[in-house]
Amino acid sequence: MNINMKVRTAILCMTIFAVALTGCSIKKEKPEYKRDVFAMDTYMVLKVYDENGEAILESAEAEIKRLEMLFSVTDEKSDISRINGSGSAQVSEDTVKLVSEALVYCEKTDGALDITVYPLLREWGFTTGKYQIPEDKDITALLEGVDYNNVTVEDGTVSIKNGGAMDLGAVAKGYTSDRICSLLREQSVSSALINLGGNVQAVGTKPDGSPWKVGIEDPKDNSRIVCSLKIEDKAVVTSGNYERYFIGEDGRRYCHIIDPKTGRPADNGLVSVTIVGESGTACDALSTALFVMGKERAAEFLEKHTEIEAVLIDDDLRLYITDGISENVELSSGIESTVIKRQG
Ligand code: ADP
Ligand code: MG
């Protein structure tokens, strides 16, 4: 081999090496940035795969804190406290949007979701931690004021009639996860997973292009999951009776989701409801509402609403999975399931 050939071979090798390197850099996964946030009375984990991850997480956390200050029922300066305090208040655009959207789901679920159950939550002690089983007459009296039709939204002002009080606890985290995911997409993030205390929402896929796997906790044993679910670009929201509850003097379990028809914690055959869909707000509203409806009514609702998917878990730990996601669910060992068929 003469010198000229050696040079040509070297150049060829370098070119191949350079092409290989470029190929590598295209395939190279984006770095993971992770942040834990405590807000809205819950632990949140944000994971973003992007070179600008740190700055993006900073803006996401600031947005969570901003929304928390608007929707909190305990902070007396929040939009919700100002509405509850004087019956009517001029509020931010986000509060107008969230209250309006929540009212749509109150109507759609025939009042299983009702943002005016707040006085009952307070009476049962869920807002104060001073848990008690109220007397029947107190429940009946407080139920008089529970009706989402008492809430109106007009020109940036939210009003509630008849001395009622509202609470957005059933939908606030869903709205927040929608906002965070839009914020991430605006910043060109193509891969992120956020978990706002049980409200999971994904942007795109995992950085390697495969779907995210989201586990659904075993309501009777938080050290394991009953199944995992493959998703892309979706929200997965769970409501259950196993995280916020108290055991009454009668030995029964009372959870923080109130049935607006009875004024008592919902106990209608389900221990957990997971809703999967495009909108975090819708999934949050419906996970709470279907928990209230209970097994039969929730299954009927799902038969009519094919735009959402669900995993219901009943008292016996049997899973009911809608047909649109049943193929994406992997059951843990010993777990039995039934598919809710909706097409043809
Ligand atoms: P979590 O907050 O545990 O994720 P949910 O999304 O199901 O659970 O919301 C439960 C919260 O919603 C309660 O803590 C309370 O603030 C409020 N709430 C309880 N029952 C109802 C109801 N029937 N309709 C609307 N809001 C409710
Ligand atoms: Mg909810």
pLDDT in tens, 167-201: 999 999 999 999 999 999 999 999 999 999 999 99
Give 191-226 as a 3 state SS string: EEEEEECCEEEEEECCCCCCCEEEEEEECCEEEEEE
Say what the pLDDT of residue 261 is.
97
Q: What is the residue whose two structure tokens read 């795109």?
A: 204
Percent of the chain having pLDDT more than 90? 85
198 CB less than 6 Å from ligand 1? yes
Centre of ligand 2 to C-alpha 62, Å, is 22
- Residue 15 pLDDT level (bands cut at 50, 70, 90): very low
Say what the pLDDT of residue 343 is.
72
Residue closest via CA to ligand 1's atom 15 equals: 169
- Residue 18 pLDDT level (bands cut at 50, 70, 90): very low
Say what the pLDDT of residue 162 is.
87
What mean pLDDT is reported for the chain? 92
Say what the pLDDT of residue 25 is.
47
pLDDT digits over 123-174, tens only?
999 988 999 999 999 999 999 999 999 999 999 999 999 889 999 999 999 9
284 CB less than 6 Å from ligand 1? yes
pLDDT at 118 over 80: yes
pLDDT at 49 over 90: yes
Would you put residue 33 in left (φ > 0), alpha (ψ -120 to 50) or beta? beta
Centre of ligand 1 to C-alpha 109, Å, is 14
Centre of ligand 1 to C-alpha 326, Å, is 27
Q: Among 288, 290, 291, 312, which is best to mutate for testing ligand 1, by the most ligand atoms less than 8 A from CB? A: 288
pLDDT digits over 196-228, tens only?
999 999 999 999 999 999 999 999 998 999 999
Centre of ligand 2 to C-alpha 26, Å, is 40
117 CB less than 6 Å from ligand 1? yes
pLDDT digits over 82-108, tens only?
999 999 999 999 999 999 999 999 999
258 CB less than 6 Å from ligand 1? yes
- Residue 8 pLDDT level (bands cut at 50, 70, 90): low
256 CB less than 6 Å from ligand 1? yes
Q: Among 109, 149, 246, 256, which is best to mutate for testing ligand 1, by the most ligand atoms less than 8 A from CB? A: 256
Q: Nearest 10 degrees: CA dihedral of 101, 106, 109, 113?
A: 110
113 CB less than 6 Å from ligand 1? yes
Centre of ligand 1 to C-alpha 290, Å, is 11
Residue 245 β-bridge partners: 255
d(CA 157, CA 65): 22
Say what the pLDDT of residue 7 is.
52
Centre of ligand 2 to C-alpha 275, Å, is 10
Question: Which atom of ligand 1 is least distant from the CA of 73?
Answer: 16
- Residue 10 pLDDT level (bands cut at 50, 70, 90): low
- Positions of E strands within 180-307: 191-196, 199-204, 212-218, 221-231, 235-240, 245-247, 253-255, 258-259, 264-265, 270-277
Q: Among 257, 286, 293, which is best to mutate for testing ligand 1, by the most ligand atoms less than 8 A from CB? A: 257
pLDDT at 281 over 50: yes
pLDDT digits over 255-271, tens only?
999 999 999 999 999 99
User: Which residues are near ligand 2, the ion (C-beta closer than 5 Å)?
Assistant: 170, 284, 287-288
Q: What is the DSSP letter of 112?
A: S
Residue closest via CA to ligand 1's atom 8 equals: 239
Both tokens assigned to 233: 């670009």
pLDDT at 22 over 80: no
Question: Which atom of ligand 1 is least distant from the CA of 284?
Answer: 6
Centre of ligand 2 to C-alpha 292, Å, is 11
Centre of ligand 1 to C-alpha 254, Å, is 13
